[in-house]
Structure 1
Amino acid sequence: MTKAIYRREHVIFLQVLKRMRVESGMTQAQCSAALGRPQSFMSDVERGVRRLDTVQLRDLCHVLGGDLISFTKTFEQALSPDNAPG
């Protein structure tokens, strides 16, 4: 099995995460600060350098004004074949 970071799903995960942050109106620095992390944290997450565990993802969703269930639904919708490039 291919490592997750090289899969289409991981790319889409990062796109959904970034879109959620941008739509919240927060900068990477503001988001990192709200999480009590250094400024580079969100940059590393969005570039795929740093991975999040489920608890961290939940915290991030809350900071961005959402929740884990909504994020997961959006992610799953983005993965649907109807949304595949091509």
Structure 2
Amino acid sequence: MKLIYRQHAVRRMFERRISTADVGAALASGRVIEDYPTDTPYPSCLWLGFAGNRPLHLVFADNPDDGERVIITVYEPDPALWLADLATRKNP
């Protein structure tokens, strides 16, 4: 599947020093932790993966008609917002 990076994702990756290689590693080593089935134009999800020891959250949507995975944003999960598994949100 071809990766397409939204402008927002590219900007955030630059600010956070996250490379396309980091994104690839996270996609290869992770799993979906939340689904957003009503997002448009395609359903999206939140993915937890790792680039080496660095945990990353990626939000992406798949466009199966064009064989594309659209990367919407990428960030390191904030321990103040996530439990130790980095997959479960803390209750507010």
TM-score, length-scaled by structure 2:
0.32
From the two aligned structures, give the one with the greater strand fraction.
2
From the two aligned structures, give the one with the greater helix fraction.
1
TM-score, length-scaled by structure 1:
0.33
